[in-house]
A and B are shown apart, each in its own frame.
Chain A
């Protein structure tokens, strides 16, 4: 059990670091996507499409094994996993931000200016609160998706929940025939226990803020 706890901690720390970084980087990236500059829009679009088409696992392989041979930099596995998840999360987050900002009707800006608000006040009191409302359910969904993607780090030998579970099954399997049922069943429930409340929150917010 204690070992599973350690694995869970690895899983969660990778998830939340990546989610945090993705949100922090995704907001400016999303603003670039919604910007007037065509070049920026095109470039961001290309980045998003490439990330969307690639399975995350393939990206993880690409980063983990090719970075070292092409650029001769050897990054620790955990850093690579956070890098890859952040790269993906930022793209998805940016698209959410773009959606939230462009879905606001133009008259919100126009009436704010007509009232004589300064640009800073306009953004702070009018645009940001509305955009955040439209954004939050999507961000929460993205969080659960990212948590559900973390088992992939198993493939680059990070001792996450799955790896620990596998090791426990290997050891306990000698004594207890049913070990794999219990352990993998438990992991299944742990993931469910983490993701289900989070997605409930997203559905709830969507309902409350639907106006």
Chain B
């Protein structure tokens, strides 16, 4: 049956790897949200030239796997004179991918805000900037929330490929321990670690979504 001695020995390794996974995931998600917001606004406000570039970026990032993006960043770029260490690669890659998904999620919210809302804001004397800040964005983000949280969870799961840029994340530890032969125990710890990371976050985000829905807008 299960070798508990091995589990006790391996658990701290997984805890440390989980910490790395969580840190990288959260940094990547925060940066993705920022990139996504900027990109969505550029497309929404129809900034010339930039919006074409943003469109191209979104299509490229959404239609290629993160793993290939990381391979290019980690093995390709140094040849072009840009050496990134593993962690930077991971965060840049995750942000490159996540930014595009976040941008699409936010754009979905922006188009859901009705024209009447904007006109009403303008007619009570708000400036364009104020309409955007106080009328459009709060409603758009509330509508976009389910898509945003889904993207956040998706990004956490995508971190599982970080071991290809030589980062000691959960998968890396699991693969390393496989060599010692205790595959059942190490896989059990692997699954448990991901459950412990993602399940609470998914519950909290689900609660947040319901909160935002009851706040009056977003229906």
Chain A residues within 8 Å of B, Cβ to Cβ? 52-58, 61-62, 65-66, 68-70, 144, 148-152, 154-155, 162, 165-166, 169, 177-178, 180-181, 184-185, 187-188, 191-192, 195-196, 199
Contacts and interface: CB of A to CB of B under 8 A. Distances in A.
B202 A53 contact: yes
3 closest Cβ pairs, A-B complex: A55-B160, A195-B63, A55-B157
Contact of A62 (B71, B161, B187): B187
Q: Is chain B's binding surface mostly helix, strand, loop or mixed? A: helix
B198 interface: yes
Given A54-B191, A55-B194, A162 B79 contact: no
B184 A69 contact: yes
Contact of B178 (A56, A65, A165, A199): A65
A155 B163 CA distance: 10
Contacts, number: 104
B64 A191 contact: yes
Contacts of A150: 65
B190 to A, nearest CB: 6
B68 interface: yes
A151 B63 contact: no
Given A56-B157, A66-B183, A69-B183, A188 B198 contact: no
B63 A191 contact: yes
Given A62-B191, A69-B183, A57 B72 contact: no
Contacts of A62: 187, 190-191
B62 to A, nearest CB: 7
B80 A181 contact: yes
Contact of A162 (B71, B158, B174, B183): B71
Q: Is chain A's binding surface mostly helix, strand, loop or mixed? A: helix
Contacts of A185: 72, 76
A56 B77 CA distance: 27
B68 A184 contact: yes
B194 A58 contact: yes
Given A53-B194, A180-B75, A180-B76, A151 B157 contact: no
A162 B76 CA distance: 14
B64 A192 contact: yes
B199 interface: yes
A53 B68 contact: no
B171 A180 contact: no
Among B59, B68, B158, chain A packs the most CB atoms within 10 A around the CB of B68
A195 B175 CA distance: 30
A181 B79 CA distance: 7
Contacts of A70: 184
B105 interface: no
B174 A154 contact: no
A70 B1 CA distance: 9
Given A65-B183, A187-B68, 18 more contacts: A54-B191, A58-B160, A58-B190, A58-B191, A61-B175, A61-B190, A69-B183, A69-B184, A151-B68, A165-B71, A169-B75, A178-B79, A181-B72, A188-B64, A188-B68, A191-B68, A192-B59, A192-B60
